[in-house]
Amino acid sequence: MKSSNFSTVTTLGAVLFALLVSGCSDPQKQARKALEEKGYGTSVKDMITAAGVGDVDSVDLFVGMGMDIDSTDSVGNTALIKASGGGHSRAVERILGLGADPRHQNSMGRDALITASAKGFEHVARMLLSRGGDIEVKDSEGWSALSIAAFNGHAELVSLLSSQSSPSALDDALLVASFNGSEQVIGRLLGAGADINTRSPASMTPLMIAAEGGKLEAVRILLQNQANPYSETNDGLTAAVLADQKGFDEVKLLIAAPQEWGSTPESEKVLQEMSEAQNALIAEATVEETLREPDSVNVSPDDATAEDIAERGDPAELANASTTVEATRPLAVRVREEAKSKPIAALNGSTIHSRSAKEAPVESMILAAYHEEPIPLSVSKVDGDTAEIRRLDQGVAEPMEVQAGSAIPGTPFTVKEVTRKFVSSKEGKGRMVDVSRVKVENTESGATHLLVNDISGQSSDTYAIITSAHSNYRYVVKSGDVFRTSQPTTGVRDYQVLDIRASGVVVKDLITEEVLTIARDGVVSSY
């Protein structure tokens, strides 16, 4: 009996002791003490410092003592921004798991994705994108994650970010990459669909920027991929002239010597596409097709964390982990990529049927590619049957007067026709614009080209390639083409191509007279 009483008292004493210890043990106090032992204070600045060095355990302690994971320092940085800028994937994973906002921007407008991208931390960027990071955000200086990665030469990261970027973002990145001169980055951006002849706010093309900066290999890869060497600045200067003015003789000589440009597998694909498109135009290879039914795609979730994959570094596993990011790629980007393996047919005379209104032939199309025909000539003025023409392969050259039927001195071109023409400009609110034209013939190849007043270094014989997600073909299209469509709700429609631009193909419904633009991002806008 005594033994039993003793046991009961002992057990009760142990419980009371445990309760006493528990009552005195405040988790927040314990966390604070542990942080002090590690040399940290208890301010927000200290938590952000811990995140910046990847100290995950200490970040947990700061949260354990009641600190908000999205607390900011004096310049608006959060723990996530600092961990991302340090490339600490384990810390980033943990902080995101604690509920951090991946879209928070500091006082400079930079979020975690821009901060990681500036340093080239691809694994961190991938993690942020899969958790809601916004690729379209720009900081107060106008830098996006893609543009800052492109400027700093981070090719692998550029590939990741390009796969989810809009056409305008790709173009901006190509322009800044041309300042840096990274051939790898330029190649990745071109492969993603950046316009090789895009213009900066100062009307500079990527080739002009690279040439003026003396970036020889960047100039080479741009020329290999069909950059127009005869485009001019607002002051009438070509890339070769800009290089010459800066004393970059090697760049100037390269631009003037196509036989020295060489090629890459990527540039060979561009040339092959151009050749196939031109052959389809010449052969008038038209087709009649019915758009395919939408494919069902089953995406398997990724069970591994980005932290685990980044640390293991297994390429196959990393590719599998891209599923979440890959699924967020814009539809137009995926369609453009898939279309590269499709055969090319001429749009003019082709007929496209649709089984449903949802997959309307024109409304589902995107601009997949655009190509200019570079011509080393520019029309300055037209008067009667005489045109003032400048040669763009001779530096800053004075215009020469050439009459219809005459050869252009020093070139294989002959002037066939001269047409004076003015049109009303929508942008100029009715102001008449001179669009006089000169038709020239290359006597060596027999090809004819149409030059338009004040559009330098470019024939109007441009062409584009359009497609849709459910089409079996890529269609090569030129101005003036007429094609037919049919669908259940609207029946048969005939469309005419009014204009070909780098930004889109302008078409007109010949029944309703509605004018639409088939753009690179897949948006069809009404006029």
Q: pLDDT tens, position by position, for the chain (527 residues)?
A: 444 444 444 454 444 444 444 444 588 888 889 998 999 999 999 999 999 999 999 999 999 989 999 999 999 999 999 999 999 999 999 999 999 999 999 999 999 999 999 999 999 999 999 999 999 999 999 999 999 999 999 999 999 999 999 999 999 999 999 999 999 999 999 999 999 999 999 999 999 999 999 999 999 999 999 999 999 998 889 999 999 999 999 999 999 999 999 999 989 999 999 999 999 999 998 999 999 887 543 333 334 444 444 444 444 444 444 555 655 677 888 888 888 899 999 999 999 999 988 888 999 999 999 988 888 998 888 988 999 999 999 888 788 999 999 999 999 999 999 988 877 655 445 677 777 889 999 999 888 888 888 677 777 678 999 999 999 999 999 999 999 999 998 899 999 999 898 889 999 999 999 999 999 988 777 65
Within 215-322, where are the H helices?
216-224, 239-245, 249-255, 265-283, 306-312, 315-321
Same domain, yes or no: 300 and 427: no
Same domain, yes or no: 346 and 486: yes
Three-state secondary structure call for residue 244: helix
Same domain, yes or no: 272 and 359: yes
CB 451 within 8 A of CB 378: yes
Residue 229 within any structural domain of the chain: no
**Separation of alpha carbons 336 and 237, rounded Å:** 33
**CA 71, 73, 77, 78 torsion-angle sign:** negative
Residue 149 within any structural domain of the chain: no
**Domain end point (choices 126, 143, 160):** 143
Residue 294 within any structural domain of the chain: yes
Same domain, yes or no: 391 and 430: yes
> What is the count of structural domains for the chain?
3
Residue 163 within any structural domain of the chain: no
Residue 487 within any structural domain of the chain: yes
Confidence (pTM): 0.83
Q: Tell how far CA 162 is from the center of its chain.
A: 5
Same domain, yes or no: 390 and 500: no
- Please name which of 143, 145, 146, 206 lies closest in space to residue 180, comparing C-alpha atoms: 206
**Domain end point (choices 115, 143, 171):** 143
Residue 59's CATH number: 1.25.40.20
Same domain, yes or no: 276 and 423: no
**Separation of alpha carbons 476 and 346, rounded Å:** 5
**Separation of alpha carbons 280 and 282, rounded Å:** 6
Q: Which domain holds residue 383?
A: 377-452
**Domain end point (choices 121, 143, 165):** 143
Terminal C-alpha separation, the chain: 100
Same domain, yes or no: 357 and 445: no
Residue 249 within any structural domain of the chain: no
CB 223 within 8 A of CB 259: no
